[in-house]
């Protein structure tokens, strides 16, 4: 199995924001299996609650900051099939959306966390989300309510190509 991560490190978000987004490639190709997602906050030490969701979104996709997936196995000679891009199109990924796009979001996994403790989603194997090649939607890590403050946010997803 080949694993990669998409990381948004200490970013300032626009408000209700997609922190990380990945869209499987056109078929036939690899499928995307989400192994882990996380978020944390470092701008201050004030206790506060923050909603977070893993969502699927159809086109139009968010406008993102391009991010090249990082290998989790340094000896892996190959880069991910997923490439960094700002458009959120099939086969691409990005972080920290500046615009959410008009595509409908469907909540796949909603949660709330205390910003001092951060949030970690580690599905057991039967719970893995596997988004197939050729899917009409991508997967996003999304703040459905605007964080306050908007700076100091970290988050990301680890995925496997299966």
Strand partners, 100: none
CB of 105 to another protein, least distance (A): 21
* CB closer to another protein, 88 vs 156: 156
CB of 19 to another protein, least distance (A): 13
Which residues contact another protein by CB under 8 A?
Answer: 3, 5, 7, 9-10, 36, 38-45, 70, 72-73, 75, 111, 113-114, 116-122, 124-126, 152, 154, 158
CA dist., res. 3 & res. 34, Å (int): 10
Q: Write the DSSP symbol of residue 125.
A: G
CB of 112 to another protein, least distance (A): 9
Taking CA 20 as the corner, what is the angle to CA 14 and CA 26, rounded to the nearest 5 degrees? Answer: 130
Which residue matches tokens 């190709």? 29
CB of 160 to another protein, least distance (A): 11
* CB closer to another protein, 29 vs 109: 109
Which residue matches tokens 């194997």? 125
> What does DSSP say about strands 105-114 and 2-11: parallel, antiparallel, or unpaired?
unpaired
């Amino acid at each position: 199995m080949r694993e990669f991560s998409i990381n948004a490190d200490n970013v300032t978000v626009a408000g209700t924001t997609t922190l990380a987004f990945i869209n499987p490639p056109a078929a036939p190709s690899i499928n995307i299996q989400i192994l882990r997602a996380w978020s944390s906050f470092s701008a201050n030490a004030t206790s506060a609650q923050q909603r977070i969701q893993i969502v699927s979104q159809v086109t139009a996709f968010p406008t993102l900051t391009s991010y090249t997936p990082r290998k989790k196995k340094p000896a892996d000679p190959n880069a991910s099939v997923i490439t960094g891009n700002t458009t959120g199109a099939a086969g691409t990924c990005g972080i920290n959306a500046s615009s959410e796009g008009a595509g409908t979001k469907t909540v796949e996994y909603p949660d709330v966390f205390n910003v001092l403790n951060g949030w970690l989603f580690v599905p057991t194997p039967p719970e893995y989300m596997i988004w197939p090649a050729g899917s009409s939607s991508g997967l996003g890590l999304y703040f459905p309510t605007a964080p306050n403050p908007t700076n100091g946010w970290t988050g990301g997803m680890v995925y496997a190509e299966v």
